[in-house]
Structure 1
Amino acid sequence: MASIKEATIYRLKVHSDMVVEKIMGGLQQYAFQPCGKTQELSHGFTPVVDDSFVLMGDHLVLFRYKIEEKILPKAVIEHHAQRRIVEAEEKNGKPLSRQEKDQIKDAVRFELLPQAFSLYKTIDAYIDTQNGWLVVGSCNTTALDYVLGAVRQVVSGFSSELMVTKQEPSLIMTAWIYQEALDFSEFELGDCFKISNGEGSITCRKEDLRDQEIVDLCGTRQVKQLTLESVHYTFDVTENMQVKRLKIDDAYTDSFINNEEEDKLHYLRVNAFVTQQTISEIINTLIKAFGGLVEERLPEEQAA
């Protein structure tokens, strides 16, 4: 599970045991199938190890999602289509309409698809039964939609929500720098951040965030992403409570490895355990720092 370098965390709105039960037996039905010759996109669940679609661990069930996308550069399509458009216009003795040109481009795209190369992406995700979370190893909106949509297919009645805290993370992170208000022991300020004033953003890397020039920047802008450090890992937290650029010290992971068990499954379990514990510590610490979670509102309260 070392592949999780970023994560979006969802609170489950259904019991985690029910989700786990459905996932344990339902993923293979929606398994990934490679793109056909004229298919541009394919995605589905794929085995974690050997033929197993899930990896069980302490308080977690890990699964894996695979996406294949055929890549056809727009310039290539335009090049081939333009030649046909010119030929058609010369033959007909008049310019083609926009609709006719679009039809030619669609035909060219369809014909070139079998020659297109594929881009593959694998996303690890897991159910954290201790915290009642779904953790998806991506911050890409499209990829998240694919994974969540697939989980809903497997788990009838599945429902989840993003973390929403009582205080805005952006305001609190800004205060950590501008007012030197980072006062908890778990994390220290790192050396990177992204700030914005609503019109443009500034990204600083490998800077002393206590430098007065940096502090002054936060007087008129808000922090949108910030690097924090712990003893065993570093990460970025975003204004939406997403984790990015997670890096766990190899020595910390190695301390959990039993040298007598050198099989692939053992390493997967260790990585899964370390990653889960790390993300759990990060998110639960940040929830407290941001004033706690906003409790789910009833439908009539949302309407009011």
Structure 2
Amino acid sequence: MWFKNARVYRFTDAWSGSEDQLNEKLAQTPFTGLTALQESAFGWVAPFKDSQMLCEKVGDRLFITAQVQEKILPASVLNEQLAEKVDAVEEAEGRRPGRKEKEALKEQLRAELLPRAFHKTRRTSAWIDLKHQWLVINAASEKNADDFTAHLRESIGSLPVIPVGKSVAGSAILTEWFQQPERRPEGTELLEDLELVMADDPTIKARYRNLDLEAPEIAHSLDSGMRIRQMGIVLNDNCQAVIDDTFTLKRLKFTDTLIEQSADSDDPRTDALLMSDALTDWLVKLAPQWRDTGI
């Protein structure tokens, strides 16, 4: 289990639930798959394939995984079929169906097409850090993360978390990291991958890749009032990622050296532990800046 993204939330009230308690809660809404007429289905699955447990404790972390299946029924297909139905009614009866009749025909077509539609499956994994009181979600988009937290809140009754970057000027902090290396969390190095936006007009953007970080073009952009929206970083020589102004880590890529440490083990929990240890070590160094900024 190697996360490709890390969206970090902090608990505003301490999490105290145990592995057994969370298992019991999640077992009430397991993933059961799509029925013929469902467009989407959500449920909890085992985070590790060699177990049926819906929550597993690895170190000081509780790992959980949600699964979503969605039918692929493109609007263009549905509209094309609807147009044919409308034309058939006009030809047979000499009239064009009204709005309500079109809606009824559309729903009828949807019911006919859904059982034959293909579906796609998406898994979203996360861990709850019992020691540091964080929730870390492997979600590529904010919507997927919001869906995950909403379903988790519904399953367990309460989830008092907020994104760590919700109430902070993230672009100002990233710009500060660039201009003042001593402000970076220990073990953080910058990569030649920057995206900047104008502070008072975010539609004005600049992207610099494979350009020396000392290049005058970057300095000029910052002097003109632009701020860094995202940047490439290396974390403790264990992985590299892109961090954005919401403090989301994307495109995580762990070093071969770290991955090889788990090569002698067939237990997927070894991967989970190495991966989460590597990220937690860096997040701990970042945490003082969360407190300084009131995150």
TM range, smaller chain: 0.7 to 0.9
Residue in 2 that maps onto 1:298: none
Describe the shift of the 1:199–1:161 C-alpha distance in structure 2 as closer, same or farther (beyond 3 A): same
Report the identity percentage.
Answer: 21
1:211 to 2:215 alignment: yes
2:53 match: secondary structure: coil
CA contact (8 A) 1:164 1:293 kept: no
Give, in angstroms, the shift of residue 166 of structure 1: 7.8
**What is the rounded CA distance, in whole Å, between the counterparts of 1:105 and 1:29 in structure 2?**
34
Describe the shift of the 1:12–1:289 C-alpha distance in structure 2 as closer, same or farther (beyond 3 A): closer
**What is the rounded CA distance, in whole Å, between the counterparts of 2:272 and 2:158 in structure 1?**
27
User: Unmatched 5+ residue regions in structure 1?
Assistant: 296-304
1:245 to 2:248 alignment: no
**What is the rounded CA distance, in whole Å, between the counterparts of 1:166 and 1:95 in structure 2?**
53
Give, in angstroms, the shift of residue 164 of structure 1: 4.3
Give, in angstroms, the shift of residue 293 of structure 1: 4.7
- What is the identity, as a one-letter code, of the residue corresponding to 2:256? D
TM-score (norm 2): 0.88
CA contact (8 A) 1:236 1:244 kept: yes
Give, in angstroms, the shift of residue 98 of structure 1: 3.0
- What is the identity, as a one-letter code, of the residue corresponding to 2:285? T
Which residue of 226, 231, 237 corresponds with 2:231?
226
Residue in 2 that maps onto 1:24: 23
How many residues in Structure 1 have an aligned counterpart in Structure 2? 286
2:120 match: secondary structure: strand
1:87 to 2:88 alignment: yes
Give, in angstroms, the shift of residue 14 of structure 1: 3.2
Residue in 2 that maps onto 1:302: none
Residue in 2 that maps onto 1:282: 282
Give, in angstroms, the shift of residue 290 of structure 1: 6.0
- What is the identity, as a one-letter code, of the residue corresponding to 1:70? K
Describe the shift of the 1:280–1:115 C-alpha distance in structure 2 as closer, same or farther (beyond 3 A): same
CA contact (8 A) 1:65 1:124 kept: yes
**What is the rounded CA distance, in whole Å, between the counterparts of 1:199 and 1:79 in structure 2?**
36
- Encode CA deviations 1:231-254: one digit per residue, 9 max, x unaligned: 121111111111111111121232
**What is the rounded CA distance, in whole Å, between the counterparts of 2:195 and 2:207 in structure 1?**
4
1:245 match: secondary structure: strand
Aligned 1:1-304 pairs, distance under 5 A: 1-2=1-2, 4-18=3-17, 20-48=19-47, 49=49, 50-164=51-165, 168-177=169-178, 180-183=179-182, 184=184, 185-197=186-198, 198-219=202-223, 220-230=225-235, 231-255=237-261, 257=262, 259=264, 262-263=265-266, 266=267, 268-289=268-289, 292-294=292-294
User: Unmatched 5+ residue regions in structure 2?
Assistant: none
- What is the identity, as a one-letter code, of the residue corresponding to 2:65? R
TM-score (norm 1): 0.85
CA contact (8 A) 1:42 1:67 kept: yes
Describe the shift of the 1:33–1:204 C-alpha distance in structure 2 as closer, same or farther (beyond 3 A): farther
- What is the identity, as a one-letter code, of the residue corresponding to 1:159? P
Give, in angstroms, the shift of residue 139 of structure 1: 4.0
